[in-house]
Amino acid sequence: MRIIYLLIVCMYFVGSLAYKPVVILHGILSGAESMTVLVRHIEKFHPGTVVYNCDKFSGWYSLENAWRQVQQIKDYIDQIGKLHPEGIIVLGYSQGGLLARAAIQSLPNHNVKTFISLSSPQAGQYGTSFLHLIFPDLAAKTAFELFYSRVGQHTSVGGYWNDPHKQDLYMKYSEFLPLINNEKLSSNSTSFKMGMVRLNKLVLIGGPNDDVITPWQSSHFSYFNESLNVIPFYKREIYMNDSIGLKTLLEANKLIIIVKPFVHHLSWHLNKRVINEVIMPYLD
């Protein structure tokens, strides 16, 4: 009887130390292979962790309409969640973090315990350096002519291009970011907020030397005003009105904001020192 009792205690102890499964979503114009360093690092230092490295919408397919991608990512996360009723962790890098957030919001009954947004344009994007990675001949000042059109909304970038000088067109034409941020109310607005406040932990990671996400503070839901001054997230309507639950999460100590300097956008998921400092502590 004593041996059986000790065995049960040991099984409980080991189970309590088990790491939750991690779902990883890559960024724009890349694929699952780009996240291999991060996957192997997690597997090495958190042995036994089940890691799902999403291979959907790789390369140029990552430019497909944002909602089309979210629909498949949502189903992917939902299926994995059902395999792990104890709960899962979702980490999205760059555009992948924005799409992952929308997918989580679209699953009001999900079992995602922690969502890590790794240098993702959560409040939108407005910058030439980012544009030139994808559209070399496009300038930020005139990009609205493409993105705020029916054709432009067929691209993922058009869905979260947030021109501070063209907010009327942004609200009129953008079919993605204003909806998931509940700037435009819809039949899904309540569900979008429910999906966020269901999280046990929301980790927002970004830094001033990112050089791609513009403004870099968009990774923390802060953004430009019309004068291109960055308004802190806590002074923006999305927080003050608790539009998607950011205020609720912060007041419950479930919102973690990480500012990490001297990290370029392309290094967040490749630099092992950075991974140890800003990602590994939240994979529990």
Q: What is the pLDDT of residues 259-278, one digit of tens each?
A: 999 999 999 999 999 999 99
For the cut 50, the answer to whether the pLDDT of residue 70 exceeds it is: yes
Intra-chain end-to-end CA distance of the chain, in Å: 33
Number of separate domains in the chain: 1
Establish if 228 belongs to a structural domain: yes
* Torsion angle defined by CA atoms of residues 243, 244, 248 and 253, in that order, rounded to the nearest 10 degrees: -140
Establish if 113 belongs to a structural domain: yes
Cα–Cα dist 215/230, whole Å = 7
pTM of the model: 0.93
| Rg value, the chain, Cα | 19
Look-up of token digits 């699953």 = 107
Establish if 14 belongs to a structural domain: no
Domain around 222: 24-282
User: What is the mean pLDDT of the segment spanning 121-136?
Assistant: 87
Residues 88-110: tens digit of each pLDDT: 999 999 999 999 999 999 999 99
Establish if 18 belongs to a structural domain: no
Cα–Cα dist 217/234, whole Å = 12
Establish if 232 belongs to a structural domain: yes
Establish if 172 belongs to a structural domain: yes
Establish if 7 belongs to a structural domain: no
Q: Does an H or E element contain 22, and which?
A: strand 22-25
CATH code of residue 105: 3.40.50.1820
Establish if 176 belongs to a structural domain: yes
> Token pair for residue 55?
């291979």
Active-site residues, by number, are: 94, 210, 265
* Stronger pLDDT, 141 or 281, i.e. the higher one: 281
